[in-house]
Amino acid sequence: MTPAIDDYETFFRVNEPRLRRAYCARLAPHRVADAVGAALEFAWTHWDRVAMMEYPVAYLFRVGLSKSRRRKEGRLPAPPPSEIAHVEPALVSAMRRLPRRQREVVWLVEACEWTPTETAEALGLSLSAVRTHRSRGLEQLRQHLGVTTNA
């Protein structure tokens, strides 16, 4: 039985911004819209299957990556200054220094508020790998930013 159309509309309204933010960690700004569009098009055409998934956003994240894949991925470009006004200025540079997987995991878990399980599913990693990348990435960010913790 296919879910009602308003279920997809609710799904879209809630999850389109999450997908868009998540792709920002992986793709150049000009490719984000294409990935979001590809993922949500897949969700629409396969809604009966997607609606039954435990982690549909994580699955769609991978769909969008696959459909927008290029052969050689460059470094994460710096966002325009107008988009980072509410962020510690040194954070952008520190994030760019992280290895790709650490940057992706830290972005998805900390900035996009994905669960470690959703992040593992989206990136094709084990849960322990996500926890390791997150821990190491946060530690490197603290070092780059000169932040100390009370441990």
What domain count does the chain have?
2
Question: Any residues with CB less than 8 A from the CB of 123 and at least 6 apart, and which?
Answer: 101, 104, 105, 108, 130
Q: Please identify, among 15, 45, 70, the residue that sits at the C-terminal boundary of a domain.
A: 70
Question: Minimal CA–CA distance to 8: which of 64, 65, 46?
Answer: 46
In a domain, residue 118? The reply is yes
In a domain, residue 79? The reply is no
Range of 120's domain? 85-151
Are 105 and 60 part of one and the same domain? no
In a domain, residue 75? The reply is no
pLDDT at 36: 93
Are 44 and 99 part of one and the same domain? no
Q: Would you say the pTM of this structure is higher than 0.85?
A: no
In a domain, residue 36? The reply is yes
> How far apart are alpha carbons 151 and 90 in whole angstroms?
24
Q: Please identify, among 70, 99, 126, the residue that sits at the C-terminal boundary of a domain.
A: 70
Mean pLDDT for 92-104 is 90
The answer to whether 59 and 19 have CB atoms below 8 angstroms apart is no
CATH code for the domain of 114: 1.10.10.10
| Residue whose structure tokens are 């150049």 | 28
Tens digit of pLDDT for each residue in 55-88?
899 999 999 988 877 544 444 445 455 554 566 7
Q: Please identify, among 14, 35, 70, the residue that sits at the C-terminal boundary of a domain.
A: 70
